[in-house]
Amino acid sequence: MRVSKWRLMTGHAALDRHLETLRCYFLMARGELYHALLESAGPLLSLPPRPATAEADLQAHLSAARVRSGTHEDKLGTRVSIMLVEGCSVDSDAASDGTSVLRLPSLDGWDGVYLKYSPDWPLQLLLTPEAMRVYNAIFRYLFRLRRLHMALDGAWRVASGSPSWHLRQHMAYLVSNLQYYLQIDVIDTQSTVLNTAIAQATDFTELRTAHEAFLGALVAQSFLDVPPISVQIERLFALCLSLCGIVQRTDVEGREACSSQVAQLAALFERASSQLYMILHGSKLSASSRAPSLRQFLLRLNFNGFVARTARHAARVAANCQ
């Protein structure tokens, strides 16, 4: 029976094509699709969601983005629909058995955006509700990161060399490197491992084990099951959005009126960045099986040494105050 399920999935059910669709949509391997979506839906997403129309509006933008990005001919892609959980930020997500809680950094009122996929039997044996829960958790995290990245890109009007320009550069650097870590170091690397394991599988049990290991690695290496890390990243998200808001108000209130706000924001961002670094650097995770992922994450986060220098400075200030 296990062999027959395996043959059905890898043969008639075209498991490889379905997994590629999940990778493209849920894990955002098709960057051009989401660039087109966020470019089109930008004005909509800049306002609070309207419960009566938000979901339909998002679906219309997704359909248009498929055409613009050239992905509309992908038949399996039509099985993906975009949804909105009304009145829910989906900050945390627990498995039905309560054994695994994922903590996603919140961004704004559109945190309830998620994807739905409709596979045929027997793929439900592999793409279980718990598996789709993990796919959606990763999607929602990436979606928030991409939205934040585009918001920072939209704050380009700040004068070159000004304090707000330097702050925006630091924020964009952190968000970009977090995206790069998740997309390249985690998703792409683990997708290669999964594809190799599937190619070597000889029955359904091996297939399921490989897929569960893949999803487990995504969660572990994105640190979504480590609440202190997610909480700190959420604080950084909020500070980035605050800068975008200040830049928008500069034309109305004037640069001088906003300069004190920028200075305060820069101090808060510096502190939050150093706190994240210290949580990661001093965490018990460094002695766990996640140590290689943690080192890679720290490398991305601290590529130019700025975060480490800031953390050391913050530690010295704290020590002098004691």
Q: What is the pLDDT of residues 64-84, one digit of tens each?
A: 999 998 887 778 888 999 999
Alpha-carbon gap, residue 229 to 215, rounded angstroms: 19
Is residue 48 within 8 Å of residue 109, measured between CB atoms? yes
Q: Flag whether pLDDT at 314 surpasses 80.
A: no
Digit-coded pLDDT (tens) for 91-140: 555 555 555 689 999 999 999 999 999 888 888 888 999 999 999 999 99
Dihedral sign for Cα 113, 242, 306, 176, please.
positive
Q: What is the pLDDT of residue 239?
A: 97
Q: What mean pLDDT is predicted for residues 4-24?
A: 74
Dihedral sign for Cα 29, 35, 40, 45, please.
positive
Highest mean predicted confidence (pLDDT) among 13-22, 47-56, 150-159: 47-56
> What's the mean pLDDT when you consider all of the chain?
84
Digit-coded pLDDT (tens) for 168-205: 999 999 999 999 999 999 999 999 999 999 888 888 88
Q: What mean pLDDT is predicted for residues 297-308?
A: 74
Number of Cβ atoms within 10 Å of the Cβ of 204: 21
Q: What is the pLDDT of residue 34?
A: 94
Q: pLDDT-based confidence at 227, cuts 50/70/90? A: very high
Is residue 152 within 8 Å of residue 244, measured between CB atoms? yes
* Total residue count of the chain as it appears in this document: 322
Q: What is the pLDDT of residue 260?
A: 81
Q: Flag whether pLDDT at 32 surpasses 70.
A: yes
pTM score of the predicted model: 0.89
CA nearest to 150, candidates 110, 102, 90, 190: 110
Q: What mean pLDDT is predicted for residues 228-241?
A: 95
201 Cβ partners below 8 Å, 6+ apart?
A: 6, 10, 207, 210
> What domains can be seen in the chain, in order of their start residue?
2-321 (1.20.120.1900)
Higher pLDDT, 203 or 35: 35
User: To which H or E segment does residue 151 belong?
Assistant: helix 129-153
